[in-house]
Amino acid sequence: MKIFLARHGEVKHNVLKSFNSSDEDLTENGIEQSLKLKDDIKDFNIDLIISSPLKRTMHTANIINKELNIITDNRLRERECGNLSGLTFNKEDKKEYWNYYTSKRYGTEEDIKEFFDRIFKFLDELKEKNYSSVLIVTHSGVTRAFNAYFNGIGDGDFSSKGLKNCEFIEYEF
């Protein structure tokens, strides 16, 4: 099975470089990015679209949809940042936040190992399905967990391993 993994278009918190727990929609630029993504993947043979249920991912999925069913799965939601929501992050904090081996907690954020486990269970279940190719529309953090699933944990530093807005990558089971 081929998996085409795409991140949603730009939202306000991406511009502000801040953590976010709110369910916000795409910016005008995010809509434009989604239209470009639609064009980039127009020749892909996709059986199904699976999306996080949040507005930004569903809006992106609806823009790129070629009249396929869109299934939502709560496990594809972004890592819950808790009381970090609305705070800007610096490079050092972001690196520690996305360190799989860290013991540091900033507040009430979802533990990275539990977050990755949530995504790994989703992928283990998907692997058992009989699809030829699936498009998954989700969040930067989820794309980091996909990276870990397919490429291993390695040094544990996932700070630079997330996709950019409307960037996509292909994986295969």
Catalytic residues: 8, 78
Q: Are 54 and 73 in contact (CB under 8 A)?
A: no
- What the block records as the tokens of 109 is 């954020």
Spatial distance between the Cα atoms of 122 and 116, rounded to a whole number of angstroms: 10
- What the block records as the tokens of 140 is 């930067």
* DSSP classification of residue 129: S
Q: Hey, what amino acid is at 28?
A: E
Spatial distance between the Cα atoms of 133 and 167, rounded to a whole number of angstroms: 18
Question: Between vectors from CA 143 to CA 173 and to CA 89, what angle results, nearest 5°?
Answer: 165
Q: Are 88 and 17 in contact (CB under 8 A)?
A: yes
